[in-house]
């Protein structure tokens, strides 16, 4: 089961340096995933549904995409459990003047089918046919691993970002940022809840502001750790997307982004945590070369703890990358 689209990148998709926003690419990835998984979940006779994004696994931005290039987005269903669909999405950029193509992104997304009659009802997924038995076993392992990780992230739900007056440069408080957005019809599915891609684009926007405030240079998204969607965001909600820096290495910045939804039109429901993720950014010179990043100065005990946790994630990913690049005996 596969699906493709190929939009051309326009000026409003990019930053001032002409690099396409990470959030724009994430939104395209999610649209492709939503289409293919919704189509699959409605492939058999039964109750009609729409696929809702539950989680995006870590995705690396392998090379920048520029204005005028064509983004070739291809999606494929690689595993189905009883109530979820795993979709693998690849993004290639094409320079239409030279014909040169390069891989810019690889992402894995998880969707759940929600009934069109009852948004809170999760339906069963039609099974996918595997060409090899190993594919199903490998997919089941990935499914169990992401399920466990999703449960582990829920403890963060009470944590909020508080503003600080007159913060010092290079501190967490100095660069932390928030964006408030009223969810309108154009942000939503037929169900009346927000597209996962819209949420991810806003999260990337806030993370980009935090990174730019910290280093005051051109910045680009390098990677996004797993994005977990804890709860649906309905039309009419006011969402607050908050970002704060958690860790800096010599040439990268980790930013935690939290999404809180406030159902202002429904007094019976309280504000809740809707999504959370860690974004990694790098600083670039005008020529596109990597620049050193000003070192973050954690002040409070919580900030120091988050810094050490971020350092652990950074070292873990660094070791993983080095393991992949080492020649095989």
Q: Would you please indicate which residues are annotated as catalytic (active-site) residues?
A: 15, 204
- CA atoms of 264 and 291, how far apart (whole Å): 43
With the CA atoms of 205, 241, 298 and 284 taken in that order, what torsion angle do they form, in degrees rounded to the nearest 10?
0
Residue 162 has, within 13 A of its CA and on its CB side, a CA count of 7
As a whole number of Å, the end-to-end CA separation of the chain is 36
Q: 109 and 53 in contact (C-beta within 8 Å)?
A: yes
How far is the C-alpha of 232 from the C-alpha of 50, rounded, in Å? 13
Q: Count the alpha carbons within 13 Å of 66 in the hemisphere toward its beta carbon.
A: 11
Q: Which residues contact 17 (CB under 8 A, 6 or more apart)?
A: 218, 284, 286, 288
Beta-carbon contacts of residue 258 (< 8 Å; ≥ 6 apart): 156, 159, 160, 161, 241, 242, 243, 273, 275, 276
Question: Among 224, 293, 287, 255, which residue's Cα sits nearest to residue 19?
Answer: 287
Integer Cα distance of 241 and 176 in angstroms = 11
CA distance linking residue 28 with residue 38, whole number of Å: 15
Query: Sign of the CA dihedral 13, 19, 21, 25?
Result: positive
Say if strands 49-56 and 227-229 run parallel, antiparallel, or are unpaired. antiparallel
């Amino acid at each position: 089961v596969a699906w493709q689209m190929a939009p051309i990148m326009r000026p409003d998709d990019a930053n001032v340096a002409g690099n396409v926003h990470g959030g724009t690419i994430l939104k395209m990835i999610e649209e492709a995933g939503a289409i293919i998984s919704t189509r699959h979940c409605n492939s058999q006779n039964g109750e009609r549904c729409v696929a809702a994004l539950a989680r995006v696994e870590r995705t690396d931005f392998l090379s920048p995409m520029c204005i005028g290039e064509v983004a070739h987005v291809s999606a494929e269903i690689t595993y189905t459990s009883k109530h979820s669909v795993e979709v693998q999405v690849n993004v290639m950029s094409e320079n239409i003047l030279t014909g040169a193509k390069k891989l810019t992104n690889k992402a894995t997304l998880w969707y759940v089918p929600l009934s069109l009659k009852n948004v809170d009802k999760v339906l069963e997924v039609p099974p996918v046919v595997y060409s090899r038995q190993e594919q199903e076993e490998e997919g089941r392992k990935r499914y169990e691993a992401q399920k466990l990780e999703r449960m582990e992230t829920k403890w963060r739900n009470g944590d909020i970002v508080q503003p600080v007056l007159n913060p010092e440069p290079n501190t967490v408080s100095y660069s932390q940022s928030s964006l408030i957005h009223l969810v309108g019809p154009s942000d939503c599915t037929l169900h009346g809840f927000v597209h996962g891609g819209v949420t991810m684009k806003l999260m990337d926007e806030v993370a980009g502001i935090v990174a730019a405030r910290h280093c005051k240079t051109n910045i680009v998204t390098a990677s996004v750790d797993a994005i977990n969607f804890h709860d649906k965001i309905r039309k009419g909600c006011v969402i607050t997307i908050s970002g704060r820096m958690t860790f800096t290495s010599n040439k990268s910045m980790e930013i935690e982004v939290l999404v809180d939804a406030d159902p202002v039109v429904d007094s019976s429901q309280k504000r809740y945590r809707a999504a959370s993720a860690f974004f990694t950014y790098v600083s670039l010179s005008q020529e596109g070369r990597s620049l050193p990043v000003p070192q973050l100065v954690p002040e409070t005990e919580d900030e120091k703890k988050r810094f050490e946790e971020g350092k652990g994630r950074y070292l873990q990913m660094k070791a993983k990358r080095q393991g992949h690049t080492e020649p095989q005996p």
